[in-house]
Amino acid sequence: MKASVVAGSAVSVAMTLSVCLDARAAPRVEVLHWWTSQGEAAALATLRGAAQAEGLEWKEASIVGGGGEQAMRTLKARVDAGISPTAVQVMGLEVHEWAKRGVLTDLNELAAKEGWDKVVPPALQKFSKFNNKWVAVPVNVHSYNWVWASNAVLAKAGVAGEPKTWDQFVAAAEAAKRAGFVGLAHGGQPWQTAMVFDGVVLATGGADFYRKAFIERHPHTLSSPTMKKVFARMTQLRGLVDKDSEGRDWNFATAMVIGERAAFQIMGDFAKGEFLAAGKRPGKDFLCFRLPGSQGAVSFGLDNFAMFAVQGADAIGAQQRLAKVMLDKKFQSDFNVIKGSVPARMDVSDAAFDACGKRGIKELAEASRKNALVGTVVFGHAVAGPIKNSITEIVDQHFNGRMSDDDAVKAIAAALRRTNP
Ligand code: GAL
């Protein structure tokens, strides 16, 4: 009896100890994101796997809603309640807004140890740093002035390959419509229409015009005949979409091209993740090409993970290990190959990437060298939130026929004239 009591108590002590040790052994991270489509989820699985391989216990808050608007509302509620996640997907200049609130972690020590300043391009660093401190980790770089085309639909519509000019692109979409297909698959949500607008500005005026309009906000640029032409082209595109496009999620529009019901989609290269998840191959099943007129220029957006201040040595240690994983070279290749984006580090080989991925890496580097790389307005990489939101609203109103081309030009000029964003 006595021995068993002693043995029993020894076992319970050991179990308690092991539970404590186990609790200490797998420090936990919580990641808030909006990657819930097929392609996004497949890419996220590589991040989860890499974190778990690092010995981290993975918890996630996955908030449905392409583009992240709902995710940002959830984040605000969590921070206001004092229950910030470890790491959060945050777009563009929004990272600085959180840094200003003093709720982000200073990652400079880790960044110095890992040499991030040497491998992450300066154009990207500015979105991950605030007051010269690394406060976010750039995981991947998407670009937005892409067109995704169904080879089968183009063939049935009698369209021979990639349209090179705007007029050829519109003519090809109209040919697809005549052949009984949707010319342009589109999700009529404001952020998606603003993304199309982003590309059309680049295709119509080029990178210098884009910067003069949205970064420098030159009044004459904003009210120029070129800006009027941008909205005339948006009106052309409206004639190519189907009647059910309003409110459609972006990945459902991509599925229309994958399913050979539509010829084209103008969408960021996260659309490629959907093609890959559906077993489609570039060249064989679909084409990826820059929106005609925007060739040579690239509008980009980072998926940055802002690191929120956490308490306690375990949580801080876990956060540092997660941050290190996110910019690890092998992870950068594994993740971006699936996500459709390109690595946030310049020293990652393109060997594992398909033709579209290789093209994305090459064109981003070339655009950067030629000063033709611009941060996208739609995801807050150009102007501050309130002005970005005004542009998105104006473009959405116009695309839905509630504003004329002339009124849209005037409204954009007025929105960008506001000095205090
Ligand atoms: C973007 C994000 C991409 C993709 C897209 C659609 O903001 O950068 O990774 O998720 O939203 O949800």
- Per-residue pLDDT tens digits for 348-363: 999 999 999 999 999 9
Tell me which residue has its CA closest to atom 10 in ligand 1.
35
Atom of ligand 1 nearest to the CA of 302: 8
**Unique residue bearing structure tokens 């679909």:** 286
Pairing of strands 57-62, 182-184: unpaired
Nearest protein CA to atom 1 of ligand 1, as residue = 67
Which structure tokens are listed for 329? 């070279």
Neighbours of 145 (CB within 10 A): 31
Q: Does 142 score more than 50 pLDDT? A: yes
Q: How many angstroms separate the CA atoms of 67 and 377, rounded?
A: 13
Distance from the CA of 339 to the center of ligand 1, in angstroms? 10
Centre of ligand 1 to C-alpha 141, Å, is 10
- Side chain identity at residue 167, one-letter code: D
Quote the ligand 1 centre to 67 CA distance (angstroms): 5
Alpha helices in 87-142 (DSSP H): 94-100, 108-114, 116-119, 122-128
Token pair for 44? 């996220």
Q: How large a percentage of the chain has pLDDT more than 90?
A: 88
Q: Which atom of ligand 1 is nearest to the CA of 66?
A: 12
Measuring CA to CA, which residue among 29, 38, 36 is closest to residue 88? 29
Determine which residue's CA is closest to atom 11 belonging to ligand 1: 67
Q: Among candidates 319, 359, 365, which has minimal Cα distance to 344?
A: 365
Residue nearest to atom 7 of ligand 1 (CA): 67
Counting atoms of ligand 1 from 1, which one is nearest the CA of 341?
9
66 Cβ inside 6 Å of ligand 1: yes
pLDDT class of 156 with cuts at 50, 70, 90:
very high
Distance from residue 267's CA to the centre of ligand 1 (Å): 10
| Mean pLDDT to the nearest integer, 364-390 | 92
Distance (Å) of CA 380 to CA 177, 315, 330? 34, 30, 28
Alpha-carbon gap, residue 34 to 168, rounded angstroms: 35
Ligand 1 centroid distance, CA of 40 (Å):
8
Cβ partners under 8 Å of residue 188, min gap 6: 241, 245, 246, 247, 248, 399, 400
Mean pLDDT of the chain: 93
Is pLDDT at 419 greater than 60 in this prediction?
A: no
- Residue 1 reports pLDDT greater than 60: no
Position 5 scores a pLDDT of 45
- Verify whether ligand 1 is closer than 6 Å to residue 39 (CB atom): no
Task: Assess whether the C-beta atom of 127 lies below 6 angstroms from ligand 1.
Answer: no
pLDDT of residue 381: 93
Q: What is the dihedral of CA 398, 403, 409, 415, to 10 degrees?
A: -80
Give the pLDDT band (50/70/90) at residue 383. Answer: confident
Please state, in angstroms and rounded to a whole number, the distance separating the CA atoms of residues 92 and 381. Answer: 4
Band (385; pLDDT cuts 50, 70, 90): confident
Q: Which atom of ligand 1 is nearest to the CA of 250?
A: 6
149 vs 183: CA distance, rounded Å:
10
Ligand 1 in contact with 40 (CB < 6 A)? yes
CA dist., res. 15 & res. 9, Å (int): 10
Task: Check pocket membership of 301 for ligand 1, CB cut-off 6 A.
Answer: yes
Q: Is 67 in the pocket of ligand 1 (CB under 6 A)?
A: yes
Q: Note the pLDDT of residue 36.
A: 96
Mean pLDDT of 59-63: 97
Q: How far is the CA of 207 from the centre of ligand 1 (A)?
A: 22
